[in-house]
Amino acid sequence: MTQTDLDPCAIARRSVQIMATGSFADFEEVVHPAARNREDVDEPPASRGRGPAAFYATALWLRGAYSDLAWEEHDMVQDGDLVVIHVTMSGRHTGEFVSYGPDARPAQAFPATGRRFATTQSHWLRIADGKVIDHWANRDDLGTAMQLGWTPPSPLYLARMIIATWRAKRSAGGVRHPHDRQLLPRVAKGADRRADRRRVQRDPGGVSGTDLRRVRAQGRLRPKLS
């Protein structure tokens, strides 16, 4: 390695940049074999180990949910072996994003919305032997969720989240209650009912007699007809 390669700021900068498009070989060059990512408590099982493979697994997890990923650097500060980078992470939500619980099982799934986001983050990286050996971060996750429409979710998106979460848990062997299977038809039916009520509210005169009778039968809406 050259002296530039051993510069802590250069190493920290590259470790962030390769999250978007870097190969496993890129991660091996900048991530220490004993490196730990302290943010792995919300990430997939493959991200919870140590070393380049775990960091690369985190990158693949993000790439699977977001396209056009980028980290725009604003500020960088070094204090000995510790480097802090202030960035804006941006991307487009084109794939399902799954968050994980402390037990490394799926906790919540967010279906693709197609929306873009751009929120600030601060990444703290400790360097040893010319490589990243420790990482933790401060992120505006609430801002990201609001920009992507995760919170507050619309009734229809909430139904999609429930179904996606059920499927993610089932794929991981995490559906423990047989009543979950009975919940899905009720969730879908509830979303259809809410859509019917919204149509009546927007244009009572433009709704068919069949739709109007169905909405009235629900007992939740009594439109005034003149």
pLDDT tens for 20-73 read 999 999 999 999 999 999 999 999 999 999 999 999 999 999 999 999 999 999
Q: Both 116 and 209 in a single domain?
A: no
- Across the strands, what pairs with 92? 67, 116
Mark whether 20 and 129 lie in a shared domain: yes
The region of weakest confidence among 10-19, 104-113, 177-186 is 177-186
pLDDT (average), residues 207-221:
53
Long-range contacts of 178-187 (CB under 8 A, 24+ apart): 187/159, 187/162, 187/163
Domains held by the chain: number: 2
Residue count of the chain = 226
pLDDT score recorded for residue 1: 47
Q: Name the band, by pLDDT with cuts 50, 70 and 90, for residue 223.
A: very low
Tens digit of each residue's pLDDT (9 = 90 or more) over 159-192: 999 999 999 999 988 555 444 444 455 544 555 5
The helix or strand, by DSSP H or E, that contains position 212, with its residue range, turns out to be helix 209-217
Query: What is the Cα 17 distance to its own chain's centre?
Result: 19
Left (φ > 0), alpha (ψ -120 to 50) or beta: where does 129 sit? left
At 97, which CATH number? 3.10.450.50
Q: Are residues 44 and 136 in the same domain?
A: yes
Above 50 in pLDDT, residue 92?
Answer: yes
pLDDT at 104 over 70: yes
Range of the domain at 96: 3-151
Cα–Cα dist 188/198, whole Å: 16
Query: Model-level pTM?
Result: 0.76
- Give 119-159 pLDDT, tens digit per residue: 999 999 999 999 999 999 999 999 999 999 999 999 999 99
Same domain for 90 and 201, yes or no, is: no
Exposure letters 110-147 (e unless 16+ CB within 10 A, then b): bbbbeeebebebbbbbbbeeebbbbbebeebeeebbeb
